[in-house]
Amino acid sequence: MNGGPGAGASASKLASWIGPSRTALLIVDTQVDFASPTGAVGLAGADLGDVAAALAAASRLAEAARGAGVSVVFVHLETRDETDSAAWAERIHRRGGLPGKALALCRAGTPGADFCGPRPAEGDLAIAKSRYSAFFGTALDASLKGRGVDTLVVCGLTTDCCVDCTVRDAFHLDYHVILAPDACAAYDSRLHGAALQSLETNFAILASADDIIAAWGMLKRMHR
């Protein structure tokens, strides 16, 4: 069951941290190949048991963010021949896997790369990446800073991989990071919990989707 260590932050405290002018909701890799039973990971036999609830929570966060005037950013994996990593492929080979199959995840132009669950709406920003971190080799940092954003609310897939790498890089780039554990998921609940514990200890504040939504609701009512 998804969740995580730590009590998290209350809605009233969050309201002072995640004002619309300074905050972006960052949704990571909610795509068919990672989230759907018909996608590559599901067809390979991964346990998707926690994914649907995380996607539902991420969708609620996106709706609340838009309603509060918070920037919504979808970062999605998009692999291509010209951006494939030789080191990534070799690591898979050394572990006894088939590099071609693994690197074919979320191939540009294929159904596996499509969004699953929450998806961009008019006014949202969508940024493609070719590695785990949303910041590596992308214009994300420049786009956020161009909007005056210094705070990120992060959710998506998977907690122990792309979410983890993104949160660490965000902190190293001096963003304040709020992580919604119930709007994230992994294919192994132990990895989900361990990743949350590490991120909470060193890089982020944990807060439930409901508390984040409540905080944005409070701010919206205050500015009516």
Q: What is the C-alpha to C-alpha distance for residues 55 and 63, in angstroms, rounded to an integer?
A: 12
pLDDT band at 98 (very low <50, low <70, confident <90, very high): low
Active site residues: 29, 129, 162
pTM, rounded to two decimals: 0.93
pLDDT band at 92 (very low <50, low <70, confident <90, very high): confident
- Which of 163, 55, 74 lies closest to 116 in space, CA to CA? 55
Q: What is the C-alpha to C-alpha distance for residues 208 and 206, in angstroms, rounded to an integer?
A: 7
pLDDT digit string, tens, across residues 52-74 = 999 999 999 999 999 999 999 99
With left for phi above 0 and alpha for psi between -120 and 50, is residue 67 left, alpha or beta? alpha
pLDDT > 70 in the chain, percent: 92
Q: CA angle, corner 166, sides to 131 and 205, nearest 5? A: 165
pLDDT of 224: 62
pLDDT of 219: 85
pLDDT digit string, tens, across residues 105-131 = 999 999 999 999 999 999 999 999 999
Which tokens hold the place of 155?
Answer: 């959710």
Q: What DSSP line would sit under 49-60, residue for residue?
A: TTHHHHHHHHHH
pLDDT band at 102 (very low <50, low <70, confident <90, very high): low
pLDDT digit string, tens, across residues 14-57 = 999 999 999 999 999 999 999 999 999 999 999 999 999 999 99
Dihedral over alpha carbons 31, 159, 183, 116 (to 10 degrees)? 10
pLDDT band at 4 (very low <50, low <70, confident <90, very high): very low
pLDDT digit string, tens, across residues 179-224 = 999 999 999 999 999 999 999 999 999 999 999 999 999 987 776 6
Q: Where does residue 36 rank: exposed (0-12), middle (13-18), buried (19+ CB within 10 A)? A: buried
Domain assignments of the chain as residue spans, ordered by start: 11-222
CATH architecture of 11-222: 3-Layer(aba) Sandwich (3.40)
Q: CA angle, corner 181, sides to 180 and 185, nearest 5? A: 120
- Which of 72, 77, 64, 71 lies closest to 31 in space, CA to CA? 77
Strands 71-77 and 125-129 come out as parallel
Q: Which residues pair with 153 in a beta bridge?
A: 25, 178
